[in-house]
A and B are shown apart, each in its own frame.
Chain A
Amino acid sequence: MLRLLILLCLAALPLRAEEVVLGLSADEVAITANFDGSELLVFGAVKREGPILDEPLEVIVTIAGPSAPLTVRRKEKKLGIWVNTDSVEVKEAPSFYAVATTGPLKEVLAQIEDLRHRISIPKAIRLVGASPNVSNPQSFSQAVIRIRKKNRSYQLLEGAVALDQQTLFRTSIQLPSNLTEGDYATRIFLTRNGYVVSEFETKIDVRKVGLERWLYNLSREQPMIYGLMSLAIAIAAGWGAAAAFQMLRRG
């Protein structure tokens, strides 16, 4: 069955005239104790059978971190003080999302293709149907984008992809230091006239390693031991400082 599927896929391939051959500066990012963000280089070439078409080719690169549901709350003034009133559940929002393109997103991507592939930042966030008594539910997802753009978790990098001879492309994306671990889906789209002509998908593995990994695992798997260890460290440090100061005073 699987073989058959692969065969079918192979058979379908020649229909696509252009294909992406991708390179990544790293296909995994290791979060160590002194991790302070990382620069990711995405580069590649367009492989084609026939001659280059007249219509210019455009490239879109997206990287999406693991998605999680969110609650967004809005404050309102009640009795003179600012309190949280309305809230909206966001079903899925990536913890990190970057879109890099060769030109303005509106020009390189048609609206309908954006809807299909969920490429632009607003399309990458999924709202749950807000309760009818919440006014202006769209403003909640806009707020998520605004807040996350501010701390560089969401990035729209228009014109950041360099494309040479309609064949070689490259871009660099800055991963922030507040990275959550998981699979970071990386997608490359080739578009012509705003329509996607080819698509390529891979993933970057972002993982904690070493001490970070060990502490994280311990806190989830042996919370009792982890808690006692934290307390033991605290008591030892408190005692150590008291003893050291006592010696300083005497000596």
Chain B
Amino acid sequence: MQIYLPIAEVSVNAFLLLGLGGLVGVLSGMFGVGGGFLMTPLLFFIGIPPAVAVATEANQIVASSFSGVLAHLRRKTVDLRMGTVLLIGGLIGAAMGVVVFNYLKSLGQVDLLVKLCYVVFLGIIGGMMFIESLNAIRNTRSGKAPKRKKHNWIHGLPLKMRFRTSGLYISVIPPLVVGVCVGVLAAIMGVGGGFIMVPAMIYLLGMPTKVVVGTSLFQIIFVTGFTTMLHATTNYTVDVALAVLLLIGGVIGAQVGTRIGTKLPAEQLRILLALMVLVVCFKLALDLLIMPSELYSIGAGGGH
């Protein structure tokens, strides 16, 4: 069944969009990532104009994250206090990121920078998570007790706060800094930032993996909601028909994903996420290194 999208001005197969939404929704519920870094390239591939794809994707992520958060709230695996602290940092970071983005745009080559950002960050995060979770699996197999939270300089910082759901008693400064850093990157790379946030929460803040997913989703709802409004009012590129098709698949997928996620052991969950991140990184790196079949590309005119 073909559907004509009013803003994107292309006609696409409705079932294809439902399927894509569902697939990304499952990943979103499982790993607490928004899925933007997967969905956006897929939408480009089926012929949606890039500007519409990026803006509509933000709207779709709001739906799947909200659906996921509700499932996590019921399980009490959302640290609302930590989420709020991260969100405050995230919004500050996003505002800073937009300034950086516009500066780079004036220099040109912003596309290249975004792609390089992706490759570098996905590569580092994916690689680190993969090695770490492999070691964790090996340790549990051989019966060694996993290393518990170490006391380091982070615990010496002032303004301590108790995050009961995460079982942490740490200063609010590290989560704020993490939030700001992720916010800056998210604004530059045009995604919710879940795939950076999740590893940061696990490895930098020492939060338990189960709580991380719900808390990340909670934070993503607000960041992507903000992005949707920004795109809708300034670029008019949010296609609500496209969003509805994607999010019907997405919300169902997120529910399924959350259930799969709670059944899998934490180490396996992390190793799967690491593999997925590495695959996307590899694909993006290939695009930069291999000679494209079409050297020319058409963009909207007048913009400089």
Contacts and interface: CB of A to CB of B under 8 A. Distances in A.
* Closest 6 pairs between A and B when the two form their complex, measured CB to CB: A69-B301, A227-B232, A238-B66, A177-B11, A241-B251, A143-B296
Contacts of A37: 11
B188 interface: no
Interface string A226-248: 11111101110111111101100
A125 to B, nearest CB: 11
A33 B66 contact: no
Given A33-B4, A75-B296, A237-B251, 9 more contacts: A70-B301, A82-B290, A143-B296, A219-B236, A223-B233, A230-B243, A235-B63, A237-B244, A241-B254
A35 interface: yes
B222 to A, nearest CB: 11
A67 to B, nearest CB: 10
A35 B7 contact: no
A139 to B, nearest CB: 8
Contacts of B251: 237-238, 240-242
A223 B62 contact: no
Contact of B62 (A71, A235, A242): A235
A75 B247 contact: no
A81 interface: yes
Interface in B265-304: 287-292, 294-303
Which among B69, B229, B290 has the highest number of chain A CB atoms within 10 Å?
B229
B261 to A, nearest CB: 14
Interface of B: 1-4, 6-7, 9-11, 47, 59-60, 62-71, 74, 109, 111-112, 225, 228-229, 231-233, 236, 238, 240-241, 243-244, 247-248, 251-252, 254-255, 287-292, 294-303
Contact of B67 (A181, A223, A241): A241
B66 A227 contact: no
A17 to B, nearest CB: 43
15 contacts: A34-B4, A36-B2, A70-B300, A143-B298, A208-B6, A212-B4, A223-B233, A231-B59, A231-B228, A233-B63, A234-B66, A237-B244, A238-B62, A238-B66, A238-B68
DSSP majority for the B interface? helix
A220 B232 CA distance: 9
A226 to B, nearest CB: 6
B57 to A, nearest CB: 11
Given A71-B301, A231-B229, A239-B66, A83 B6 contact: no
B218 to A, nearest CB: 12
Nearest to A248: B255
A61 to B, nearest CB: 24
A74 interface: yes
A170 to B, nearest CB: 27
A237 B3 contact: no
A52 interface: no
A82 B292 contact: yes
A241 B59 contact: no
